[in-house]
């Protein structure tokens, strides 16, 4: 198989989702990555049997998700209906990830990161450890073997669970509990609120949790400072 290679210009890209709803959310947090080294990437997914021959001689490597995304932003890679594996493996999130282009690899990982093409458009897939191997991969060739920095900029090691908890309490209160009492005030029989308030609270909590299927406020994203290159939390536009 003849592989078409495309040179990728070093630069910045963004990865991940700031949506944590069940139906529309994705892997988070959303973050910026800066790749300072030059590399070439295969324009199309490569069948695994062909890729293994090249990987054995160490001429090429599997693309990281960061390398893949920067190439996609530059309009250099394509696909049809393939499911292609990348070199990243995680626990279902990006917390603690280095932001210099290297693969995100966690100890005791549970998922491989892959890209599913459909009619020329890619989406991110998480493949559980032990699942059936993909038939395609994405390959890269690094022009200058650059050593990664010893202390790269990284995402925080964990999400701020206290902030998430406070947010969920407020959502339950304003989306579920308060509307339940308002409804009861105008529609229920006299004295119902006094005797039936536990049910109203419980029903409000259920309604608040149910709303997670479709909606949640955007989560904090992370960017790299333009001049300092330091990772910073950001609730606005990344690029």
The phi, psi pair for 170, rounded to 5°, reads -65, -40
Instruction: Tell me the pTM.
Output: 0.89
Instruction: Using the predicted structure, report yes or no on whether residue 228 has a pLDDT greater than 70.
Output: yes
Mean pLDDT of 77-95: 97
Mean pLDDT of 155-160: 94
Q: What is the reported pLDDT for 146?
A: 60
Per domain, the residue ranges of the chain are 5-155, 161-213
Q: In angstroms, rounded to a whole number, what is the distance separating the alpha carbons of residues 235 and 41?
A: 32
The residue among 194, 166, 129, 168 whose CA lies nearest residue 20 is: 168
Q: What is the reported pLDDT for 239?
A: 41
Q: What is the reported pLDDT for 1?
A: 66
CB distance 155 to 231 below 8 Å? yes
Instruction: Using the predicted structure, report yes or no on whether residue 145 has a pLDDT greater than 70.
Output: no
CA atoms within 13 A on the CB side of 12: 12
Structure tokens at 138: 């994405």
Instruction: Using the predicted structure, report yes or no on whether residue 236 has a pLDDT greater than 50.
Output: no
Mean pLDDT of 216-232: 93
Q: What is the reported pLDDT for 157?
A: 95
Task: Give residue-wise pLDDT tens across range 53-67.
Answer: 999 887 899 999 999
Q: What is the reported pLDDT for 57?
A: 86
| Confidence at 238, pLDDT banded by 50, 70, 90 | very low
């Amino acid at each position: 198989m003849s592989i078409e290679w495309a040179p990728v210009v070093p630069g910045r890209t963004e990865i991940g989702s700031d949506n944590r709803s069940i139906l529309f959310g994705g892997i988070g947090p959303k973050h910026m990555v800066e790749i300072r080294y030059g590399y070439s990437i295969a324009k199309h997914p490569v069948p695994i049997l062909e890729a293994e021959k090249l990987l054995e001689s160490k001429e090429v490597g599997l693309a990281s998700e960061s390398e893949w995304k920067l190439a996609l932003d530059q309009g250099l890679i394509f696909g049809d209906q393939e499911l292609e594996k990348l070199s990243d493996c995680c626990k279902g999130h990006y917390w603690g990830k280095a932001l210099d282009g290297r693969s995100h690899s966690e100890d005791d990982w549970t998922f491989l990161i892959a890209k599913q093409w459909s009619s020329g458009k890619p989406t991110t897939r998480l493949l559980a450890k032990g699942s059936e191997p993909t038939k395609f991969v994405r390959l890269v060739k690094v022009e200058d073997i650059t050593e990664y920095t010893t202390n790269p900029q990284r995402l925080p090691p964990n999400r701020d669970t206290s902030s998430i908890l406070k947010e969920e309490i407020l959502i339950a209160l304003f989306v579920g509990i308060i509307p339940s009492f308002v409804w009861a005030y105008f529609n229920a029989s006299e004295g119902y609120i006094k005797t039936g308030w536990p049910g109203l609270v419980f029903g409000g909590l259920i309604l608040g949790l149910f709303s997670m299927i479709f909606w949640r406020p955007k989560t904090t994203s992370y960017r790299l400072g333009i001049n300092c290159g330091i990772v910073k939390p950001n609730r606005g536009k990344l690029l």
